[in-house]
């Protein structure tokens, strides 16, 4: 859809002159545009049309992001040599002082400074990059651990709650709104076969063995920007930063950082979890976070990638059965392809589960003995 980006641009307190605006990135949720300004010494910007079907309360969503970015910025200010504009998302206020606007068509928009000279990867091809990603998320969680004030607003309730996601799947199977259920019996069976074991993280939470912390909840690798030297730069896409278990962030990052193929690869033989990338990410993550994690949290890190990859498979499958209402798709079978690819990745993780456990145990001992 064509939007009048220059008109939107003028509703925010920007510097520089609008030169051009083009669709940007490969996110599945919002409509994202990069705005280039005419002056080389002025910032470029990101403008997003927010998906308010998914995020029902835009004021609370933005309030979360304001609180999180203010807190992160305070932390960065204390670290000598920080490049704050590039290491933390910076919202641009609108003319009325709020950090979003609702235009005359009922579209919600927000704006950020464009983080210059970053690198973003949908696929990770080296342990060094995976390790940097792990450091970025470990640091992100550590910096938010002492954020003051009330708990963050739950922007999407029960987001990673697998019991909730399975209920939603079963509901759509019984409604069968677009007649696709019979075409996905095999995928449904693969999901149901694993449903009980996937509830373990929720059980540990209910038993008080693992705590709710402030987590990101959408740590797909392209939400972790690296710099020109492929070093950790900035964690973006803060819409789902809210209370969660550390396993959600660890699992989602491995789902993307250690996958040898794309999230929607149709040749399933290309999809595997690369154990070296898993190890490198875990090493980076634990180097920043091990001191804060309890024994249960550490023990279940190896299980987390199975849980989150499975959860995303359930969500893609549910959306396919529902007629593609949630995720952006580029062709008719897109959500089904994604679900199949994620299920293949779950199987690959299951095959390597023992080794994953050994790696985590060894890394936590090594990091522990250094501290």
Q: How far is the CB of 27 from Mg ion (least distance, A)?
A: 4
Distance CA 152, CA 338 (A): 30
Binding mask 324-363 for ligand GN1 (x = CB under 6 A): ----------------------------------------
What angle do helix axes 304-321 and 185-193 make, rounded to 10 degrees? 150
133 binds Mg ion (CB under 5 A): no
Q: How far from each other are the two terminal CA atoms of the chain, in whole angstroms?
A: 54
Asked if 360 contacts 301 with a C-beta cutoff of 8 angstroms, the reply is yes
Query: Which two three-digit tokens encode residue 249?
Result: 């962030």
* Binding positions for ligand GN1, 233-272, rule CB under 6 A: 237, 239-240, 252, 263
- Are 233 and 226 spatial neighbours (Cβ–Cβ below 8 Å)? yes
3-state helix, strand, coil in the chain (%, to 5): 50, 10, 40
Q: In 3-state terms, what secondary structure has residue 18?
A: strand
Q: What is the DSSP string of 312-349?
A: HHHHHHHHHHTTS-SS--SSTTHHHHHHHHHHHHHHHH
Residue pair 132/232 in contact (Cβ under 8 Å)? The answer is: yes
Binding site partner of 173, from Mg ion, ligand GN1, ligand ADP, none, Cβ cut-off 5-8 A by kind = none
Question: Is residue 46 a contact point for ligand ADP (CB under 6 A)?
Answer: yes
| Part of the chain binding ligand ADP (CB under 6 A), chosen from 68-76, 109-117, 166-174, 176-184 | 109-117
Place of tokens 């008719």: 332
Can you tell me whether residue 26 is helix, strand or coil? coil
The token pair at 166 is 């399975």
User: Cβ-closest residue to ligand ADP?
Assistant: 27
- The answer to whether the beta carbons of residues 247 and 149 sit under 8 Å apart is no
Q: Pick from 8, 9, 14, 27: which binds Mg ion (CB under 5 A)? A: 27
Among 263, 274, 264, which Cα is nearest to 126's? Answer: 274
| Minimum CB distance to ligand ADP smaller for 239 or for 283 | 239
Q: What's the min distance (Å) between Cβ of 61 and ligand ADP?
A: 11
Contact between 222 and ligand ADP by CB under 6 A: the answer reads yes
Residues 231-290, interacting with ligand ADP (CB under 6 A): 236-237, 239
Kindly give the interhelix angle for 127-144 and 275-289, rounded to the nearest 10 degrees.
30
Q: Is 129 exposed, middle or buried (0-12, 13-18, 19+ CB in 10 A)?
A: buried
340 binds, among ligand GN1, Mg ion, ligand ADP, none (CB under 5 to 8 A by kind): none
Q: To the nearest whole angstrom, how small is the minimum distance from the Cβ of residue 92 to ligand ADP?
A: 10
348/364 with CB nearer ligand GN1: 348
CB of residue 164 to ligand GN1, shortest distance in Å: 13
Taking the C-alpha atoms of residue 251 and residue 245, their distance in angstroms, rounded to an integer, is 10
Q: What's the min distance (Å) between Cβ of 291 and Mg ion?
A: 29
Sketch the per residue contact string, 128 through 167, with ligand GN1: x for CB under 6 A, - otherwise. Answer: ----------------------------------------
CA angle (315 as vertex; 312, 320 as ends), nearest 5: 130
Total residues binding Mg ion (CB under 5 A)? 3
The sign of the CA dihedral 82, 85, 87, 88 is: positive
One character per residue 203-222, x = contact with ligand GN1 (rule: CB under 6 A): ---------------x-x--
Site residues for ligand GN1, 274-313, by CB under 6 A, read 312
> Which residue in 5, 29, 35, 257 binds ligand GN1 (CB under 6 A)?
29
Residue 333 Cβ vs ligand ADP, minimum distance, rounded to whole Å? 21
Helix (H) or strand (E) holding 213: strand 213-215
Q: Answer with the entry of ligand GN1, ligand ADP, Mg ion, none that 89 interacts with (C-beta below 5 to 8 A by kind).
A: ligand ADP
Q: By the criterion CB under 6 A, which residues form the site for ligand GN1?
A: 27-29, 218, 220, 223, 237, 239-240, 252, 263, 312
Q: By the criterion CB under 6 A, which residues form the site for ligand ADP?
A: 24-25, 27-30, 32, 46, 89, 112, 114-115, 118, 120, 222-223, 236-237, 239
């Amino acid at each position: 859809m064509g939007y009048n980006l220059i008109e939107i641009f003028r509703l925010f307190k920007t510097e520089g002159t609008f030169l051009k605006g083009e669709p940007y990135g490969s996110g599945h949720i919002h409509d994202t545009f990069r705005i280039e300004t005419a002056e080389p010494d002025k910032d470029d910007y990101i403008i997003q049309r927010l998906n308010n079907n998914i995020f029902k309360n835009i004021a609370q969503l933005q309030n979360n992001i304001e609180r999180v970015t203010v807190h992160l910025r305070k932390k960065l200010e204390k670290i000598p040599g920080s490049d704050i504009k590039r290491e933390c998302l910076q919202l641009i206020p609108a003319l009325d002082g709020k950090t979003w606007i609702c235009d005359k068509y009922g579209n919600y928009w927000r704006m950020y400074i464009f983080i210059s000279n970053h690198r973003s990867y949908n696929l990770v091809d080296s342990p060094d990059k995976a390790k940097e990603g792990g450091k970025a998320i470990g640091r992100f969680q550590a910096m938010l651990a002492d954020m003051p004030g009330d708990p963050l607003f739950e922007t999407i309730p029960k987001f990673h709650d697998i019991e909730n996601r399975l209920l939603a799947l079963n509901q759509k199977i019984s409604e069968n709104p677009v007649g696709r259920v019979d075409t996905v019996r095999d995928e449904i069976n693969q999901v149901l076969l694993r449903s009980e074991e996937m509830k373990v993280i929720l059980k540990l939470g209910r038993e008080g063995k693992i705590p709710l912390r402030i987590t990101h909840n959408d740590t797909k690798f392209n939400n972790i920007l690296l710099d020109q030297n492929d070093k950790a730069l900035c964690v973006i896409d803060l819409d789902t930063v809210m209370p969660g278990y550390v396993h959600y962030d660890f699992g989602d990052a491995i789902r993307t950082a250690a996958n040898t193929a794309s999230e929607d690869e149709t040749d399933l033989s290309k999809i595997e979890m690369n154990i070296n990338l898993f190890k490198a990410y875990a090493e980076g993550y634990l180097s920043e976070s091990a001191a804060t994690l309890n024994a249960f949290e550490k023990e279940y890190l190896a299980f987390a990638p199975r849980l989150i990859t499975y959860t995303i498979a359930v969500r893609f499958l549910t959306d396919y059965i529902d007629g593609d209402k949630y995720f952006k798709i580029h062709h008719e079978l897109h959500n089904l392809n994604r679900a199949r690819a994620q299920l293949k990745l779950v199987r690959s993780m299951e095959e390597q589960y023992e080794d994953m456990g050994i790696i985590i145990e060894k890394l936590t001992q090594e990091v522990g003995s250094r501290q």
